[in-house]
Amino acid sequence: MSAKLNVVVAGAGIGGLAAAALLSTAGHRVVLFDRFGAPAPVGSGLMLQDTGLAVLGAMGLRDRLTDLGSPIRRLHGRTVPKLRTVLDVRFSALRPDLHAVGIQRTALFDALLGAALAAGADLQTSTEIARVDAKTGTLEDNRGRQFGPFDLLIDGLGANSPLSRKSHRPLPYGALWITLDWPELGPFDAGALEQRYRAARKMAGVMASGSAIEGQTRKATYFWSIKGDGFEAWRSTPLDAWKEEAIALWPETSDLINAVEDHDAFSFARYRHRTHDKPVQGRLIHIGDSWHAASPQLGQGANMALLDAYALFLAVSSGSLETTPQRYLQYRRSHVRLYQLMSFLFTPVYQSDGAVLPFLRDWLAAPVSRAPPAPALLAAMVSGAVGRPLKKLGLA
């Protein structure tokens, strides 16, 4: 497309910043709105998969982020108290060199924000978007201010986007997340995301997530699952009571946990699962969690948001404004459906109150998952490769 478009991106999160960077670089005029007063990400670390890394590669950000992050080659989960391995995904089962990268959310955010601003995107902070009129191409914020009209409106407002319509009912579980210093002397495997489960009711995880900026000491991301409505109760209980419970679940985490000073050091995330039934509506296009929110159990959300942003950029670049929505859907719809389904099926196996699914996980699924071709299929699933999304985008 040679015409330069007026584009608005609502939400300067992972998907919104990537879309703003890509479209600004292609010469479009991009305005980016976010409600935050100063640009900042929320949360701790996350896993960049082969899919997200490929998009970052196309944006020229991959090497920098790989250097800051920490290579993750295995997902390894064991039950308590028997220490049975019930999750063992090795990326090399699919491709010898395949791995994910554990990264500080700040490192990813800063890289994307820098790319968007350097390409000329105009970031407007303290603007809470409330409504859209897709026919006229305008947005309105919570103070009644109108913006537009724009040729293209991109909804990157995340899991609670007021611009996407489906139910916002949260999943029963969420988690507390914290960034701590990585214990260089052990006992954790820096190349693995390690987890411990008691049935599917309690879950803790540790992952090396590199440095937010060059030269900073390496960090660990630690998470602890709690019921979605249990946050206030947890917060009003002395921290030492939680520390005792967490160390009882996983004694090797005691040094990490004893370094935590107060409840406020944690971020709490309540998970949601929903797929917006209309990812494109006229000139409004939903990307990332505003289209497909899921629990982070499969570690795909940030990667899917990056894939959406790249698909949208390709759709805009390779056709007319009229064909952009359909092209975007052709690139992304089947992959999104597949991963939403897999996430829906897998989440209760690792986070739910029931006893049946964890029992089947421990005694049936775990042994089956070790027999070929299951290891390669699991590696494909976790790396985001099922449905070949990179091939569709010309990034494979």
Three-class secondary structure of residue 220 per DSSP: strand
Least distance from ligand FAD to the Cβ atom of residue 60, Å: 20
Using CB under 6 A, which of the segments 39-47, 146-154, 194-202, 319-327 binds ligand FAD? 39-47
- Report if residue 205 touches ligand FAD, rule: CB under 6 A: no
Residue nearer to ligand FAD on the CB measure, 27 or 162: 162
Dihedral, 62, 99, 314, 341 alpha carbons, nearest 10: -140
- Report if residue 177 touches ligand FAD, rule: CB under 6 A: yes
> What is the x/- site pattern for ligand FAD, positions 11-30, by CB under 6 A?
xxxxxx--------------
Using CB under 6 A, which of the segments 40-48, 62-70, 74-82, 179-187 binds ligand FAD? 40-48
In the chain, alpha helices (H) = 14-25, 50-58, 62-68, 105-118, 231-235, 239-249, 254-258, 301-317, 324-350, 356-360, 366-368, 374-383, 389-392
Judged by CB under 6 A, the chain residues 119 through 148 that form the site for ligand FAD are 128-129
- Report if residue 269 touches ligand FAD, rule: CB under 6 A: yes
Judged by CB under 6 A, the chain residues 305 through 324 that form the site for ligand FAD are 305
The number of residues that bind ligand FAD (CB under 6 A) is: 33
φ/ψ of 140, rounded to 5, equals -135, 140
Residues 208/218, Cβ–Cβ less than 8 Å? yes
- Report if residue 300 touches ligand FAD, rule: CB under 6 A: yes
Least distance from ligand FAD to the Cβ atom of residue 64, Å: 18
φ/ψ of 64, rounded to 5, equals -60, -45
The 8-class DSSP code of residue 5 comes to P
Question: Identity (one letter) of the amino acid at 239?
Answer: L
**Separation of alpha carbons 106 and 355, rounded Å:** 37
The 8-class DSSP code of residue 351 comes to S
Residue nearer to ligand FAD on the CB measure, 119 or 355: 119
- Report if residue 162 touches ligand FAD, rule: CB under 6 A: yes
The 8-class DSSP code of residue 363 comes to I
Kindly tell me which residue out of 157, 204, 378, 380 binds ligand FAD, with binding defined by CB under 6 A: 157
Least distance from ligand FAD to the Cβ atom of residue 299, Å: 4
Residues 112/14, Cβ–Cβ less than 8 Å? yes
- Report if residue 339 touches ligand FAD, rule: CB under 6 A: no
**Separation of alpha carbons 387 and 296, rounded Å:** 19
Binding site for ligand FAD (CB under 6 A): 10-16, 33-36, 43, 46-47, 128-129, 156-158, 162, 175, 177, 269, 288-290, 296, 299-303, 305
